[in-house]
Amino acid sequence: MIRAIRSKITNGSAGWTGYFLLGWCLLFPLAAAPAAENPRPPEFVEIREVIPDVLLDIRYYSRHNFVGEQVDGYQAPKCYLTRQAAQALGEVQKELTASGLSLKIYDCYRPQKAVNHFVRWAADIKDTKTKAEFYPQVDKRNLFKDGYIAAKSGHSRGSTVDLTIVTLPAPPQERYRPHKNLRACYRPYGERFGDNGIDMGTGFDCFDTRSHTLNKTLGPTPRLHRALLKTIMEKHGFVNYDREWWHYTLKDEPFPDTYFNFDIE
């Protein structure tokens, strides 16, 4: 299946900023107690220990994200995951590279302090400097009500990953100029930010219904690409969050009820 789809993939620029839809959690408002600081558990590994050739584009370490600045807890552009999730992702990468493709990761483990940063940002309705790219059709006042921002994230449990697929050799990616070259994340491939992933229909972290994995309004190419990613990730034990084409969690995650708060460094 991968080889058949690979023959239809063309290089281009489609990185996207899809929904940050982890459920609406107003029961846990800004006053919620933050998670305690803790060291990195031995059950966590940096992804390149398991997949040396994986591509990384850790958006929350950079300013190219919906917050518009480096996010709390991201001290290095690294990807930490539980060993089980990393090893399962390694099997995905093996299949893709055999067909001239590779995973590209946007985010992995996310400290609770980063989630708290998102909540503070969402509460500041005057800060709309990234709206033109990430949520052009969403009123920031509704981010909690509409479920785009929550006080807890599955990423903090260490077995959730945001990612896409890139053709090899990886094509060049557009240089992000903070708050200057912003184009709506749902615009067609080639018109939105020039991410080097294959066309998935929107950019990463795009707060829009077009980011829903099975959105039927998209053209055949992004729907095929999403199906490829979903099929191979599910084959190796991951479950997709249906409102974000890029978001996958290991089905048998080892810490289903623990939210960690160590820095990424």
> Is position 244 annotated as part of the catalytic site?
yes
Task: For residues 162 and 249, give the distance between their C-alpha atoms in angstroms, rounded to a whole number.
Answer: 9
Measured from the Cβ of residue 55, the count of other Cβ atoms closer than 10 Å reads 19
List CB contacts of 2: < 8 A, sequence separation 6 or more.
95, 96, 98, 99, 101, 228, 232
Task: For residues 173 and 256, give the distance between their C-alpha atoms in angstroms, rounded to a whole number.
Answer: 35
Task: For residues 151 and 147, give the distance between their C-alpha atoms in angstroms, rounded to a whole number.
Answer: 11
List CB contacts of 27: < 8 A, sequence separation 6 or more.
none
In the beta sheet, which residues pair with residue 249? 160, 239
Amino acid at 111: P
Task: Quickly tell me which residue has 């998209």 as its tokens.
Answer: 218
Phi-psi category of residue 201: left, alpha or beta, with phi > 0 → left and psi -120 to 50 → alpha: left
Half-sphere exposure of 179 (CA within 13 A, CB side): 8
Task: For residues 127 and 140, give the distance between their C-alpha atoms in angstroms, rounded to a whole number.
Answer: 9
What is the three-class DSSP state of 80?
Answer: strand
Q: Which of 191, 244, 253, 265 is flagged as catalytic?
A: 244
CB 33 within 8 A of CB 152: no
**Which residues are the active-site residues?**
244
